[in-house]
Chains A and B, each alone.
Chain A
Amino acid sequence: NAGVTQTPKFQVLKTGQSMTLQCAQDMNHEYMSWYRQDPGMGLRLIHYSVGAGITDQGEVPNGYNVSRSTTEDFPLRLLSAAPSQTSVYFCASSYSAGVNTGELFFGEGSRLTVL
């Protein structure tokens, strides 16, 4: 019963390096999203996807790329890491319609530090 799986759990990068945060879900959810969590700011939406091949920007998309080639996977790419991207990143998924819309299932988070 895996749910939403994120890897890695911890990562340290140097400024300018690139990396990919992985996210996979096994609930056949159409909707997947990435949030970042910063102290005192709650969670802010970075990018989201409503199905394979469809992605869109959230509130804070700059410096991040996403793609959705399968229903299960939704990786988040940092193209050139900056210290401002130091944060905890959460992947979340949900059904796109029906009574359970809005019930996000979260991964355990990926803590990223950019030096």
Chain B
Amino acid sequence: AQSVTQLGSHVSVSEGALVLLRCNYSSSVPPYLFWYVQYPNQGLQLLLKYTSAATLVKGINGFEAEFKKSETSFHLTKPSAHMSDAAEYFCAVRGPKGAQKLVFGQGTRLTINP
């Protein structure tokens, strides 16, 4: 069955520091993987997605993620955090019945310290 595990429900970094949000997946089919971001009182929006092309995926707002099959990981990174990056981040994997039916992780709340 498809599932994702996000390591750390809360991550706090200083402005300008590296952001690293961890995601490990389990999938019985070649995985399609996604990162979504949710700003306060808003819906989720797509940051980036991996669909079996390049293993290093670049997204919006300077974020990128690397697909590592050997580690079943899809960690999200950003070299330098900005205050506006404070949000909740969700990793997701394609569900068992098709690409649209995403299975989401528990979410990681990112706090940026000035």
Q: Can you add 20 more A-B contacts, CB < 8 Å, to A45-B101, A101-B98, A103-B49?
A: A31-B100, A33-B100, A33-B101, A40-B107, A42-B90, A90-B43, A92-B43, A92-B44, A94-B100, A101-B100, A102-B32, A102-B99, A102-B102, A104-B46, A104-B102, A107-B43, A108-B42, A108-B43, A109-B41, A109-B43
Closest beta carbon of chain A to B83's beta carbon, Å: 22
Report whether A104 and B90 are in contact in the complex, using a CB–CB cutoff of 8 Å.
no
A58 is an interface residue with CB less than 8 A from chain B: yes
B64-100 contacts to A, CB under 8 A, are 90, 94-95, 97-100
B9 is an interface residue with CB less than 8 A from chain A: yes
CA of A59 to CA of B98 in the docked complex: distance in angstroms?
14
CA of A106 to CA of B46 in the docked complex: distance in angstroms?
9
- Contact string against A for B residues 25-68, beta-carbon threshold 8 Å, 1 for contact and 0 otherwise: 00000001010100001111110010100000000000000000
Closest beta carbon of chain A to B52's beta carbon, Å: 12
A2 is an interface residue with CB less than 8 A from chain B: no
Secondary structure class of chain B's binding surface, majority of residues? strand
Report whether B51 and A102 are in contact in the complex, using a CB–CB cutoff of 8 Å.
yes
A86 is an interface residue with CB less than 8 A from chain B: no
Report whether A42 and B105 are in contact in the complex, using a CB–CB cutoff of 8 Å.
yes
CA of A33 to CA of B43 in the docked complex: distance in angstroms?
13
> Knowing A90-B44, A103-B49, A108-B43 touch, does A43 contact B90 (C-beta < 8 A)?
yes
A66 is an interface residue with CB less than 8 A from chain B: no
Interfacial chain B residues near A45, Cβ < 8 Å: 95, 101-103
A-B contact pairs, 20 of them (CB 8 A): A40-B9, A42-B90, A42-B106, A42-B107, A45-B95, A45-B101, A48-B101, A56-B97, A99-B51, A101-B98, A101-B99, A102-B34, A102-B49, A102-B100, A104-B100, A106-B44, A108-B41, A108-B42, A108-B43, A109-B41
Interfacial chain A residues near B95, Cβ < 8 Å: 45
Determine which residue in A33, A99, A106 has the highest number of CB atoms from chain B within 10 A of its CB, and name it: A106
Interfacial chain A residues near B101, Cβ < 8 Å: 33, 45, 48, 58
- Which residue in chain A gives the minimum CB-CB distance to B95? A45
